[in-house]
Amino acid sequence: MITPRVEVPFLQYLDEKGAPIAPLPDWTANPDILLHYYRQMVLARVVDQKAIALQRTGQMGTYPSCMGQEAVSTVFGHLLQHDDVLVPYYRDVPGQLQRGMEIEDIYLYWGGDERGSARPSQRKDFPNCVPIATQAGHAAGIATAMRIRNQHNAVLCSCGDGATSKGDFLEALNLAGVWQLPMVFIINNNQWAISVPRKLQCGAPTLAQKGIAAGLPCVQVDGNDVIALHEAIDQALQHARCGKGATVIEAITYRLSDHTTADDATRYRPSEELKQAWLKEPIKRLQTWLHQNDHWDEGKEQQLQEEASAKVQKAVENYLNTPHQPISELFDYHYAEIPPGLESQKEEALSRMTGQAAGQESSI
């Protein structure tokens, strides 16, 4: 029998308890980056939990939590340079917060307001992509633009494990191989696509190996280990920026939350599996390492939690106090210039609304 032989390296530095299982890279000797990662993950979790609370109290719509996946997005958010481009998926709050999105933008977007994706500080990054995997093509296009213009930057495209089953993902991988595009594909393998487990998505032992068929280097990393993630992503980004082409990184994580606030994972997911996954989550793991290496203590932890809560509270207030958009904005952004027919529909909408209760125009 011919058995498929592929080798996909697996990268990990810290075990579940935060103890090194391999000599740590030199950059970890200075704890600044790791402290930044820790603070960013903690902030992201507070942002995330508040989003869920807002949804539960009717102040926000359906929200997909990133709980358990903070490390991946935190690390690439830090490693991406100013002129690199992020093409995220919908669980990338930690990365987005480092790329020019404000916390209130996150709440606005998930609160059903287009202006969450509008802040100029988001530069050329793409907004959240809801139709699964379709962002992979955009990322390849951005990379193509960089190639045409001889820009030494990279595009990072993030997606879930389910997304790797779509043609869009595979087509983009293929192109990245053919044209040697400056890209990094990050698969957040959180083991589930709503209720569909990883093993029902793909018969291959790893998702990273989809890159092999496209001629791309690929690696699996422990997605709860910021050091491993930093190593893999940093190398892949440098590789891309200096013209050596794309890399596929499969980050092994776990979706600690329901799929979204509209989902109930107890219908399909064994509670024991969830319990085991909690033992591996990224924040506790890094915290333990920082403690053990005297970079962290209870006082700092308390201060950080207080700062994060205050920041988030302020953002919630800004979000809740943001007035609704004027109705005209629903019409004004479809074309550079509004066509006459649409202009008259806009008039129609404006006059229709003058007849409606003024209450609808107030804040949420």
Partner 1 sequence: MSEQRITLVEAVNQALHYSMTHDDNVVVLGEDVGTNGGVFRATVDLKEKFGLKRVMDTPLAETLIAGISIGMASQGLKPVAEIQFMGFIFAAYEQMISHAARMRNRTRGRLTCPMVMRAPFGGGIHAPEHHSESTEALLAHIPGLKVVMPSSPRRAYGLLLAAINDPDPVIFLEPKRIYRAVKQPVPDDGKELPIGTCFTLKQGDDITLVTWGACVKETLEAWQQLKQEGINAEVIDVATIKPLDMDTILASVSRTGRCVIIHEAARSFGVGAEIAAEVSSQAFLSLEAPVRRLTGYDITMPYYRMEHHYLLSSKDIVQAAKETLEYQ
Ligand X SMILES: Cc1ncc(C[n+]2csc(CCOP(=O)(O)OP(=O)(O)O)c2C)c(N)n1
Which CB atom, from 58 or from 120, has the smaller least distance to partner 1? Answer: 58
Q: What is the C-alpha separation between 142 and 153, in angstroms, rounded?
A: 10
Which CB atom, from 209 or from 257, has the smaller least distance to Mg ion? Answer: 257
Give me the residues that bind Mg ion (CB under 5 A), please: 160-161, 190, 193
What b/e string do you get for 145-169 counting C-beta neighbours within 10 Å, with b at 16 or more? ebeeeeeebbbbbbbbbbbbbbebb
Q: Which does 56 bind (CB under 5 to 8 A by kind): ligand X, partner 1, Mg ion, none?
A: none
Q: Which does 91 bind (CB under 5 to 8 A by kind): Mg ion, partner 1, ligand X, none?
A: ligand X
Three-class SS state of 172: helix
Which CB atom, from 40 or from 188, has the smaller least distance to ligand X? Answer: 188
- Encoded one letter per residue, x for contact with ligand X by CB under 6 A and - for no contact, window 243-282 reads ------------x---x-----------------------
Q: What is the dihedral of CA 296, 302, 305, 309, to 10 degrees?
A: -160
* Element containing residue 43 per DSSP (H, E): helix 32-56
Q: Which does 37 bind (CB under 5 to 8 A by kind): partner 1, ligand X, Mg ion, none?
A: none
Q: Taking the CA of residue 224 as centre, how many other CA atoms within 13 Å lie in the half-sphere pointing to its CB?
A: 26
Q: Which of 196, 242, 279, 310 binds partner 1 (CB under 8 A)?
A: 196
Contact range with partner 1 by CB under 8 A, out of 42-50, 193-201, 223-231, 238-246: 193-201
Nearest CA among 112, 55, 50, 54 for reference residue 261: 55
182 makes contact with partner 1 (CB under 8 A):
no
CB atoms under 10 Å from CB of 138, counted, come to 17
Rounded to a whole number of angstroms, the minimum distance from the CB of residue 180 to partner 1 is 27
Contact range with ligand X by CB under 6 A, out of 4-12, 24-32, 41-49, 154-162: 154-162
Instruction: Give the amino acid at 92.
Output: D
Query: End-to-end CA distance of the chain, in Å?
Result: 64
Give the Å distances, CA to CA, from 298 to 16, 36, 94, 301. 21, 17, 23, 5
Binding region for ligand X (CB under 6 A): 91, 130-132, 160-163, 188, 190, 192-194, 255, 259
Interface with partner 1 by CB under 8 A: which residues? Answer: 61-62, 110-114, 130-133, 162-163, 165-168, 193-196, 200-202, 262-263, 267-268, 324-325, 327, 330-331, 334, 341-342, 345-346, 348-349, 352-353, 360, 364
